[in-house]
Structures are given as structure tokens and as C-alpha cells.
Amino acid sequence: MLKNKIAAIVLSSAVALSLALPALAATYNVNSVRLIDSSGTLTGVRIVVTVPPDTLTSQDKLRFTLPTDLRMTSSNVNLSVPTVGSGLANQFRAATVTNSNFNGAGSGNDFVEVTVSAYATEPLPDGLSAIGEGRLIVDFPDMKANGLPSGDVRIKAEAASNSVFTNTAITVGTVGSGSVSVSVDDVKTITSSGNERLDTIYFKEDRTGALKPDGTSIKLKLPSGFTWESTGTLQSVWGSTPAEMGMTISEGSDDRELIINATSASQNAAYFTLIGATISVDESIAKKGDIVVNISGSTTTTPSSFTIAKYGDYSTNVTSYGDIPTISAGKNGDTISQIGAFKIEEEVPGSLIPNRTITLTLPEGARWGLEGEPLQLPTRSGESKDGGLNEFTWSVVDREDANRILKATIGGSESTSAARLIYEKAQIATAADFSGDLAVEVGGTAGINGKIVLAKVTPVATVSVSEVRSIALGLGDQPIGDILITEGTKEAFNKDQSELGSEVEAPNDATVNLQLPIGVFFSGTPTVEVVSGDLLIESGSVTTNLNGSDGTQGSLRFNIRSSSTTPSTIKVSNIRLTTNRTVPEGDIVLKVRGSAVNKSGFMGRGTAASAVIGRLITAAPSEVRLESSFQINSTRYTSSGVEKTMDVAPYIKDGRTYLPVRYVAEALGVPSDNIIYDPDSGTVTLIKGSLVAQMTIGKKELKLNGAIIPMEVPTELVAGRTMLPVAYVARVLGTAITYDEATKTVTIK
């Protein structure tokens, strides 16, 4: 066991020593890995050799060997020993080439052998106080390839086993066929007016010899409808020049083709341009839009096609830009009323003519401002490309207070490049009853026509009622269903009163006004509460009012204390109405109005939402008689012509027709508050005028104003509803009943 432990310690020490050795070894770095053709020339190769301090020995030798099929074109290998830091001597005192094989002069691969000397005990040069690391720079001459295989080109570094120099392979290049990148300086927009000069086209080799001298080095082919009119000239940027490569440029057999050909490969990676080429357009064939050139030939190019220009007419388009916002109706001069951006874009330069105009006309129920003054006008976005056009002059131009037409006047001179103008942050005002797409009509003397949608306008609110009940003319204290008022967006019921139009009612408070038709009034004050969202209603502000100079119109008002951050819902319950005898038969429409929902002040358009909350069914008699129909096994019934739904259906049992007492009573005018159920005793009490009727679940008796009336069958409870034979229902409610056997329908009058 002890021997094993000793062996383990010795082994671990040996491993640790072997792992530490590389820290004392030389490192090799190359300035760049060059791209080279299989028969190209590798130039500018530099290898930097670095050794740690106190590791170099004089007369150490280091050999660099080239791969087969790569030869140095001269013996000009340059060795240099740079400084390594302030006050430090480079450990390499000197380095010389002591053996070599250049350009295949000897047998085997080309190589260069370097012998170095190191500082030891001799005095250091003036100004140096210590010996630092060693650093040797080896600059190779040009190296010519002769059929190198694809892949990495490596120079092998070798030294003796006891040397600080390590044996390794240094990647100095990569062999491949290479490619030429093709690009255009700028994509110009052209017309069919004549010879159109293109912007400069750039050609750049990624390595020496990438452009192939093979009859058709590069071919540029235009799409149908376009032909090369003049070929332009070739100019060098750097590397081998077009003249050195014997480069020519000419049209092909098809005048849509332009051929660039070289008679010899580059010696240094070439970068050149084609300047001044022009094309012509055949209007009968050419398609508008991008002019895409296809590239072919013996040379590999990147990409294989590119857009060289755009073709268009002298015209301008106006379109919406970016996301179309959703805004709330009834707003005026705040961020809620900010519409979407729009883009004015020329197809070709000069399409927009100075002193001509572009008009943007809003639909009815929307306007650019109040009383002749615009709100926030459109501003030009930083994303715009003005093409040399000056800013437009904007103004609202229609008469009086309509303010629907916004005009832009084009100033300055024509554009020099196709303008792309993006306008944003314009604000509008909309009527309280406006909803749907804000479709803006484009016109003016600039010749632009069409419509663009710049916003989606949501209603301020929607109104619903739990039940549309029939209301008798000339009677008071008649109950109706609960009303729900839901905001279309957050802050639709707005507390802020700073941007009110002059026609807004109750301008001093953030008021919601629920307005009834003329001749209809609230009996008492309903309950008003927020049932969802975070809208706050001013405490104690709920009041009923008589609108109009003669007080002939009822309304319910309350004030907003704080606007919502999420769309909120208001519930109005415990509502009772009184009608006079002048009201025509038909729907009772509730309107949502007031300064909290309408800030824009459009004349005659102050209703933000409305709904039918009841129906007036007869002229005003001294006593109203109602009619309802129930069908066996159906949960749908009609009450004074209005179809409704129950949660239990009438049925026939033992030859008797059972009806749900609550639905029959409500249909015949008994208020829901006068239908009382005592779950402890199972007793149902109905109060209709002076009549009080009682029945108990499971008992065969009725009580009418205290008098007991025997029944042949007991009252039943089905699905939580009290069911009574139809004959006793008639007796309780004092109604006439008919039964249609064919349709299984009970009619109660």
C-alpha cells in the first residue's frame, strides 16, 4: 500500500511537470491568414516567434519548411529583433539565416533555417536594465503556389528536442477558387427619358487570381426592356490594375449583356470600378421597380444578382406608414387623438413640383383643429430622405369651422434624388359619435389621389341593458333592466377638462349625462357604481335632472373623479321610469353625453353612445293591459311583442299546464321587487296593486288577500323556479288565458 502511494505521488508530480512545460515553450503568431488561389501568390507573410524570459540558449536553431508546391520567389527573408518593453532587453540578441533552400534550388521543399544568439552574462546596452522575453519577427518573400490542394496552407516550424522552440504547423493561408464581390454605390431611380447613367459599380477580389481570364470573366445581364447604351470605363482602386490584367469591356451578342474579360490573372488581389455605364428603357416591355442584373461567367461572384437601379415614372405615392393606431372618439388636442404616420414617396427625382399642393381631407366627424386653428401639424420624421426638398408649408384651408382640409405646399426646388418623406405626430379631433376607420382622402394640384387609413377610431363607450322591458305610457315608477356602460379605451371618460370645445355641454365638470327621451323621467335616483376597471366616480355627484328649458326630459348625471388606466364598466341599477302621455310608442333610447365623454364639441354630434332600454307599447289608457305567450317545453317567450328567454320551460303534468310564476308575473307588469320568495317557508308572495297572493311549495292552496283557495294539485319547485298550473296563475293575476293546442302555446292577457 505504501509503495502504491509513493508511486501515485511520483506519477502526479510527473503529470504536473508535463502540464507546466508548455508555459516555457515558444509561441508562433501570423499577421493574417491570406486567401490564395491554388496557383496564386502568397504575399506579406510575417511570423512572430515569442519565448518566455530566461529560456533561450545561444546557437538555438529554428527551421521553417514550406509545403510541397509552394516556393519562395527569392532569398530575401528578413529577420528583426524588436524592443519588448521599457528598460528591457529582447532576449534575442541576434538572429541570422544560416541555411536555406529557395525556389527549388536544392532538393526537397523550400526552407529557411535561423540561428539565434541570446543575452547571457555580457553587459546590456545603455538604457536597458534587465532581460525580458524574446521576440523574433520573420518576414517571408512572396511565395508562388503551383497546384496547391484546397484547404489550409501551413508552414512547419521545427527545432531540436531540447530547444525552447516547439514543433508545430503554422497556418499562413487558405487555398480556394476565390470570388469577386459586386456592388453598386447607390441604387438610382431612372425614367424612360433617355440614356440613364448608373452609379459606380464595384468589383473586388477576395484573393489573388479570383477573377478568371477565360473569355467571359464576368457577364452582367439586364432584365427585359433594358439595354446597355454605353459600357463606361474601368478604373483601379488598388491591387492589380485592369490594364495589368489585360481587361476589356464590351457588349455581348445580346445588347442586354455587358462582358468584362481579363487576359491574365491578378498578381495582387484586384479592386476596380465600372464608371459611367448607361442604359436605355423600352417602355413597352420594361417593368417598373427594381432593375435586377444577373451575373454569370467563369468567375465566381457574390452575389449572383443585384439591384443596379430602379425604374419608374414621374409620380408620387402617399401611403400610411408603420402601425395604424387605435384612438378614442370625442377627443381634442391630446395624445389620445394622435393619428398614424404617412409616407410621401417619389418614384423618380423631380416628381414633386415646387408650388404645387397635396391636400389631406378628413371624413365628416373629424377635423384638424378648432375655430380655424389647427392642432399639432404633421412633422417630418428623421427616417425621411428629403432628396434635396425643403420642408412643406402646412395649413388648414377650408372655410368657417369645418377644418377638415389640410394642405401642404411644396417649396424650394425639385429633388435631386427620389424623396421619401415620412410625416408623423399629427393630432385631430373627432366627434363623440365617430367610430371606424379614419380614411383620409388625398388630393391637391400635385396629381396625387386616393385614400389612406391613418387611425382606427373606437367608440367612447358601449351601452347594454340586462333586459328590454315594456313600459306603459302615462304610468310612474316602472322598473327597467340594469344598464352597463363600458369604455371603449382607457381614459375614454376623461377627467381632464383643459381641451374642451366650445359646444361641449356642462363644460365646468367632467360630467357623464345619461339622457332620456322627451317625456320620460327617472323615478328616484338609481344606483351608479364601477364594476370593473379603476375609473373613479365623484362621491355624491349622482343626481337626476330635468333637461330642457321646460323640464320635459329626464337625465341622470355623475362626475368623473379620476380617469381609468384600463377600460372600465359602470353599472346603473335600481332604475324606475315615469312616462307622460305625450310620448310616442316605440323604443326608449338612452344617450350617453356630457363633457367627460365629449371634448371635441361637434355641433349636433355630442352623443357618445346609445341603447334601447325599454319599449313604450300603448297609448296611455287609465289601466294598461299586457299580453304574453308561453310555449310548452320552450324557454323562449314573448312579452308585449318582445321575445325573451327563461331558465325553465313550461310543461304538462297529469293533464295540467304548469308555468313559471316569476316570468308570468313580470310579463304582466308585476315589478321584480314585488315577487318575494321566503326560502325558509317555501312561500312565494306576489303583490300587484291591491292584490296580494301567496303560495307555498308542496301545498294545495292559494291565499288571495288572506283568503284560502284550495287547489287540486300542489305548487311545485323545478330548477329553482316556482311552477303553478295555468288556471291558478290566471286567478292569481286576474288575467284571461287561452291555449292553442296546435302550437302548444298559452296566451295570457
- How confident is the model over 186-210, as a mean pLDDT? 86
Assess if CATH 2.60.40 describes domain 23-175: yes
Nine-digit cell string for 361: 381631407
Residue boundaries of the structural domains of the chain: 23-175, 180-311, 316-458, 461-616, 628-748
CATH architecture of the domain with range 180-311:
Sandwich (2.60)
Q: Is the CB of residue 147 less than 8 Å from the CB of residue 37? A: no
Q: What is the pLDDT of residue 331?
A: 79
CATH of span 316-458: 2.60.40
Q: What is the pLDDT of residue 121?
A: 67
Q: Is the pLDDT of residue 403 over 60?
A: yes
Q: Is the pLDDT of residue 21 over 50?
A: no
Q: Is 74 exposed, middle or buried (0-12, 13-18, 19+ CB in 10 A)?
A: exposed
Q: What is the pLDDT of residue 3?
A: 38
Q: Is the pLDDT of residue 499 over 80?
A: no
Q: In this predicted model, which residue has the larger pLDDT, 688 or 678?
A: 678
Instruction: Map residue 21 onto helix, strand or coil.
Output: helix
- For 48-98, the pLDDT digits (tens) are 999 998 899 888 999 999 999 999 999 999 999 998 888 888 989 999 999
Q: Is the pLDDT of residue 12 over 90?
A: no
Q: Is the pLDDT of residue 503 over 60?
A: no
Please, which pLDDT band fits residue 535 given cuts at 50, 70 and 90?
very high
Mean pLDDT score of the chain: 86
Which CATH class for the 461-616 domain?
mainly beta
Q: What is the pLDDT of residue 497?
A: 57
Q: Is 362 exposed, middle or buried (0-12, 13-18, 19+ CB in 10 A)?
A: buried
Q: What is the pLDDT of residue 507?
A: 47
Highest mean pLDDT among 123-137, 184-198, 259-273: 259-273
* Pick among 3.30.457.10, 1.10.3720.10, 3.30.70.270, 3.30.70.600: CATH of 628-748: 3.30.457.10
Please write down the long-range contacts of 194-198, taking CB distance under 8 Å and 24 or more positions apart.
194/280, 195/229, 195/230, 195/278, 195/279, 195/280, 196/278, 196/279, 196/280, 196/281, 196/309, 197/276, 197/277, 197/278, 198/232, 198/277, 198/278, 198/279, 198/308, 198/309
Please, which pLDDT band fits residue 622 given cuts at 50, 70 and 90?
very low
| Whole-number Å distance between alpha carbons of 89 and 94 | 12
- How confident is the model over 371-378, as a mean pLDDT? 67
Please choose, from the candidates 526, 615, 505, the residue with its C-alpha nearest in 3D space to the C-alpha of residue 572: 526
- How confident is the model over 308-323, as a mean pLDDT? 89
- CB proximity list for 454: less than 8 A, separation 6 or greater: 320, 324, 339, 340, 342, 426, 438, 440
Q: Is the CB of residue 610 less than 8 Å from the CB of residue 462? A: no
Q: Is the CB of residue 569 less than 8 Å from the CB of residue 530? A: yes
Q: In this predicted model, which residue has the larger pLDDT, 263 or 583?
A: 263
- For 714-741, the pLDDT digits (tens) are 999 999 899 988 888 777 776 778 889 8
Q: Do domains 180-311 and 316-458 have the same CATH topology?
A: yes
Q: Is the pLDDT of residue 207 over 90?
A: no
Highest mean pLDDT among 208-222, 385-399, 697-711: 208-222
